[in-house]
Chain A
């Protein structure tokens, strides 16, 4: 098993774990953490193809930096949304927040 295959397999496993968190668990915080995990899987793919893939170049590394920054912004906004939903509905179950009206 080459290192590239190993990186891609880990990335796929992380993505599927995040997908389980998003689809199966109904908790808004866990949904956000699952999305973060899927973003990490994408970052790992960038790193893997930068290091072990053909072509070379440094664009993969720089992409991961920007991706981490955007993921941090997403986490901040997401957690603010979770807190706002909790204040309105007194629950953070995703299924309970099914109306746009505040």
Chain B
């Protein structure tokens, strides 16, 4: 169990790190897709099947398409490679990240976590009953948020005066 999880963690983590490090933005977006697929497989191995498939659908199917469209629409003219980050910015960022990483790592590994039996997986029917029962208001609110966000995104991304066809 732990070995499988460790392998899947590597499958998820290696593309994520590579995606942050590569220069080409399209390669980066595709590597993020691999990382999300790895995370979906990790969820599947942990026992959260519905979450795994929802994650794969939303991220690999939806968010990655939005990202690829944004990359293609905002392409700089000739060079597709990004300029390298300035040394000062990189140094500051790396110092901040290493501080956060050491804090997280030490707090995780020095905490004695209770070892209990894993919770049995929740059947899909029970999840549906939860969503339609105690969490119904939250579900409706999430639908409202998604609708408002999509309409807002359209308004933001559309040209200012579509009738004249000119960009603002």
- A residues sitting closer than 8 Å to B (CB atoms) are 1-10, 12-17, 19-21, 23-27, 29-30, 32-34, 36-37, 40, 43-44, 47-48, 50-54, 56-58, 61-62, 64-66, 68-77, 79-84, 86-88, 91-92
Contact = CB atoms under 8 A, between A and B. Distances in A.
Q: Interface size bucket, B side?
A: 35 or more
Interface string B127-168: 100110001001100100110011011101101000000011
Interface string B60-81: 0011001101110110100000
Contacts, number: 217
Interface string B6-31: 10010011001101100001001100
A33 to B, nearest CB: 5
Interface of B: 1-2, 5-6, 9, 12-13, 16-17, 19-20, 25, 28-29, 32, 35-36, 39, 42-43, 46-48, 50-51, 54-55, 58-59, 62-63, 66-67, 69-71, 73-74, 76, 82, 85, 89-90, 92-94, 96-97, 100-101, 104-105, 108-109, 113-116, 118-119, 122, 126-127, 130-131, 135, 138-139, 142, 145-146, 149-150, 152-154, 156-157, 159, 167-168
